[in-house]
Amino acid sequence: KNEVEQSPQNLTAQEGEFITINCSYSVGISALHWLQQHPGGGIVSLFMLSSGKKKHGRLIATINIQEKHSSLHITASHPRDSAVYICAEGSGGGADGLTFGKGTHLIIQP
């Protein structure tokens, strides 16, 4: 079973800073997901990627298949970005559903 490790567990930064959250996994995957969870529990899917890089607004996700590593970057961070960011791997066949990392608790201070 794949192991998904995230770092850091907690991150506090000032508004405007460039943020990087890392995710590594132990075996090959076909899709890596980045999710955002705000207080109250709702989860939003930010990215699903299997290679290269994706960008949406101030968010950028990259994946290196050879190194089994993915990063989520937030440019010009804002207090509304404060949330828990979770990476998850899900094989295309979905044999075990998604396997989740423990999450990174991000706080952006004004």
Partner 1 sequence: KAGVTQTPRYLIKTRGQQVTLSCSPISGHRSVSWYQQTPGQGLQFLFEYFSETQRNKGNFPGRFSGRQFSNSRSEMNVSTLELGDSALYLCASRDGWDEQFFGPGTRLTVL
What residues make contact with partner 1 under the rule CB under 8 A?
A: 31, 33, 35, 40-45, 47-48, 86, 88, 92, 94-103
In whole angstroms, the minimum distance from the beta carbon of 17 to partner 1 comes to: 26
Indicate the residue among 77 and 101 with the shorter CB distance to partner 1: 101
Name the DSSP class of 92.
T
Q: Between 71 and 91, whose beta carbon lies closer to partner 1? A: 91
User: Tokens 């075990």 appear where?
Assistant: 96
Write down the least CB distance from residue 47 to partner 1, Å.
Answer: 8
Shortest distance, position 37 Cβ to partner 1, whole Å: 9
**Closer to partner 1 at the Cβ: 41 or 110?**
41
Mapping DSSP onto H, E and C, the string for 38-82 reads: CCCCCEEEEEEECCEEEEECCEEEEEECCCCEEEEEECCCCHHHC
Cβ-Cβ contacts under 8 Å for 22 (sequence gap 6 or more): 6, 7, 69, 70, 71
Residue type, 51: S
Taking the complex as a whole, the smallest distance from the CB of residue 22 to partner 1 amounts, in Å, to 17
